[in-house]
């Protein structure tokens, strides 16, 4: 991920997601490597100039490069919102599940998904949808 300050970005990821360093920080490399689950690493690489991690899909909508699969999506969504992290959504993407988007401090766009059909009973999924997608009343 392109970032302005790898150490500041790493602190943000640690604070909001509990990520840990995969290898010790080496200032000569100008990057921090954090551990995700199942052996995946998130490289936070110092860059200069514009940071644009999004790309347009065929319809011209800005897309994200990474989706995080989670359980209990509502807990993460509410925690990020209450911590002041820029978020969009949530939205029900049908068979894909429930998703929301968040941005890191450098404006990199990320997607979060819970495939509720797999992780929850139909009743639990319906309660979650009711909680997240309550009709707006005037």
pLDDT at 18: 93
Mean pLDDT for 36-43 is 87
Q: Read off the pLDDT of residues 9-19 as tens digits, 9 standing for 90 and up.
A: 999 999 999 99
**Tokens linked to 116:** 């509720």
- The gap from C-alpha 106 to its chain's centroid, in whole angstroms, comes to 13
pLDDT above 60 for 138 = no
Nearest to 78 by CA among 132, 7, 23: 132
Confidence of residue 39 (pLDDT cuts 50, 70, 90): confident
CA dihedral 49→83→27→110, nearest 10 degrees, is: -50
The reported pLDDT for the residue numbered 89 is: 85
Q: Residue 24 — very low, low, confident or very high, per pLDDT cuts 50/70/90?
A: confident
Strand partners, 113: 69, 99
Helix (H, G, I), strand (E, B) or coil at 19: coil
Residues 6+ apart with CB under 8 A from 81: 87
Residue 79 has pLDDT above 60, yes or no: yes
Q: Which residues lie closer than 8 Å to 117 by C-beta, 6 or more apart?
A: 95, 97, 125
**38 φ, ψ (degrees, to nearest 5):** 55, 40
């Amino acid at each position: 991920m392109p970032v302005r300050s790898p150490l500041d970005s790493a602190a943000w990821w640690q604070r909001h997601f509990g990520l840990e360093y995969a290898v010790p920080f080496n200032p000569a490399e100008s990057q921090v490597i954090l551990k995700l689950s199942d052996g995946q690493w998130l490289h936070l690489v110092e860059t200069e100039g514009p940071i644009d991690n999004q790309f347009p899909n065929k319809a011209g909508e800005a897309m994200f490069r990474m989706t995080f699969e989670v359980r209990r999506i509502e807990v993460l969504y509410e925690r990020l919102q209450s911590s002041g992290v820029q978020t969009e959504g949530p939205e029900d993407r049908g068979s894909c599940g429930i998703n929301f988007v968040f941005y890191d401090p450098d404006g990199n766009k990320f997607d979060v998904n819970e495939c509720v059909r797999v992780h929850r009973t139909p009743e639990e999924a319906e309660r979650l949808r009711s909680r997240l997608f309550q009709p707006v009343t005037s």
